[in-house]
Structure 1
Amino acid sequence: MADSALKVWRDRDGKLLRLRLSRPKANIVDAEMIAALSKALAEGSSDPHVKAVLIDHEGPHFSFGASVAEHMPDQCAAMLKGLHALVIAMVEYPVPILVSVRGQCLGGGLEVAMAGHMMFVTPDAKLGQPEIVLGVFAPAASCLLTERVPQVVAEDLLYSGRSVTGEEAVRLGLANAVADEPEAAALAWFDAGAAKHSASSLRFAVKAARLGFNERVKAKIAAVEDLYLNGLMATHDAVEGLNAFVEKRAALWEDR
């Protein structure tokens, strides 16, 4: 099955659900992409024979991030609700979600990638949360980064907006493995492990491994969503930063 945002098919005798972001080169994580991912994952979770999911992408880049237009005050509440529902569904997914990343994986794109269970990246991939550059912060990443890497590393990335290479991401613990062909590496991991296991037992193993983790992420996401919508978006600079990006000009910060 395919739609304008996502290609969906089964691999490995139906045991592996394949999802491919299919709007290169940016693969923007907008409402359409979020809905397509949410639908495909929901349908796959009900199949007891599925042992893993692999998310990859067409084009040179995994994703440039979320739609900036959908971050504007009149749309951001709906956008965050949809994105955060997707992130929670991925965090709570009953089988491992593998993510293959090439090129840029930024903002909302990295939030989606981090919501998966394992990430395979090229050495020169660029991963980052540049939201602070636009005068906002990354809600889901504020919850997910601190679960994947040390607090000091998470704060560096969230406050600076800088990107790290795939090699650095693996050293930091942000990604699992670096490979010139990350899709092939993810498939090799599946073939050597999950493919050979009982699908039923694997689901119990995933649930056991994520006890506590899921609950923490859900609670944090609810809190940061409220902070974003009722705190940040009431400030001058958040709206100014987004408008400046859309209008392709320098932001005029008033520090309020």
Structure 2
Amino acid sequence: MDTPLKATLEKDGALLRLRLDKPKANLIDAAMIAALHAALGQYRRHVMLRAVLLEAEGPHFSFGASVEEHLPDRCEAMLKQLHGLLLELLEFPVPVLVAVQGQCLGGGLEVALACSRIFAAPSAQFGQPEIKLGVFAPAASVLLPYRTNQPAAEDLLFTGRSITANEALRIGLIQAVDEDPQAAALAYFDQHLQGKSAAALACATVAVRAAMQRDVRARLAEVEKLYLDWLMKTHDANEGLAAFIQKRQPEWTHQ
């Protein structure tokens, strides 16, 4: 059976490369989440591991989550699966590097936000467009203030606009812009991580992320409840999702 993810262990077991392999959209859907979860679980305790590189096949990193899986009858299961993956990335015991080209939107950006360092091509675009569908981005609401600052996070979440790699670098959302983000991430690994003790890196990762992990875990539960118990009971959330699937303009009632 075809898998939407390629996983390879390289550099004598020091680097795990995970490649989203369902172009061009590379949707973060249930199948992709399951594949990422399986790969992270398989290599989590690999003793030589010093980093993970998350990358994507095709012209785009990810268009985001599956809108169909966010409809009322499926969104609770989808949110819990996605948030479980994000917590797994946040709590993974070595740095997770991300190489981005093209669009990195919605749930795709939320996955990147849970990682350590983001390397992007100059033409990359980043955004949380959920507000345009009458909903909001639960995980990004929690993670973006950690990656940028409160006003920048609110701008992206309230407007749904996409920003360039250079703007993302300026606000601290990403850490490097390079014509070849995969090569830049590999160079960073070679120069800064490969020669380190895997045991020391694991301890350092746990130490620096512990408070963030506790906070994000609690806040994800809060925003999940807000999304399911309040937002999904509104007319506009259901109208926005339906309008997207039907390829028409939504008609807001503001309720």
Q: Say whether the fold is shared (TM-score over 0.5).
A: yes
User: Secondary structure of 1:19's partner?
Assistant: strand
Measured against aligned partners, the alpha-carbon deviations of 1:211-255 in whole angstroms (never above 9, x if no partner) come to 211111111111000100111000000000000000001101001
- Give the structure 2 partner of residue 124 of structure 1: 123
Matched residue count? 255
Letter in 2 for 1:123: P
1:44 shift after superposition: 1.1
Distance 1:189 1:173 in 2: 18
Query: Which range moves more in the overlay, 10-19 or 68-77?
Result: 10-19
Work out the percentage of aligned pairs sharing the same amino acid: 56
Letter in 2 for 1:115: A
Distance 1:42 1:168 in 2: 34
1:169-248 equivalent positions in 2, closer than 5 A: 169-248=168-247
Gaps spanning 5+ residues in structure 1: where?
none
Q: Does 1:101 align with 2:71?
A: no
1:34-73 equivalent positions in 2, closer than 5 A: 34-73=33-72
Distance 2:120 2:193 in 1: 20
- Give the structure 1 partner of residue 157 of structure 2: 158
Gaps spanning 5+ residues in structure 2: where?
none
- Give the structure 2 partner of residue 87 of structure 1: 86
- Give the structure 1 partner of residue 3 of structure 2: 4
Letter in 2 for 1:206: T
Distance 1:177 1:170 in 2: 7
Distance 1:179 1:194 in 2: 19
Letter in 2 for 1:224: V
Distance 2:203 2:169 in 1: 27
- Give the structure 2 partner of residue 17 of structure 1: 16
1:208 shift after superposition: 1.2
Letter in 2 for 1:44: Y
Distance 2:210 2:70 in 1: 32
1:4 shift after superposition: 2.3
User: Secondary structure of 1:100's partner?
Assistant: strand
1:3 shift after superposition: 4.2
Question: TM-score, normalised to structure 1's length?
Answer: 0.98
Cα root mean square deviation, aligned: 0.9
Q: Does 1:167 align with 2:166?
A: yes
Distance 2:71 2:131 in 1: 15
Distance 2:13 2:252 in 1: 52
Distance 1:231 1:147 in 2: 25
Question: TM-score, normalised to structure 2's length?
Answer: 0.99
Letter in 2 for 1:52: A
User: Secondary structure of 2:123's partner?
Assistant: coil
Distance 1:39 1:211 in 2: 23
User: Secondary structure of 1:54's partner?
Assistant: strand
Distance 2:73 2:209 in 1: 35
Given that residues 122 and 167 in structure 1 are in contact (C-alpha distance below 8 angstroms), is that contact kept between their aligned partners in structure 2? no
Distance 2:74 2:14 in 1: 38
User: Secondary structure of 1:145's partner?
Assistant: helix
- Give the structure 1 partner of residue 138 of structure 2: 139
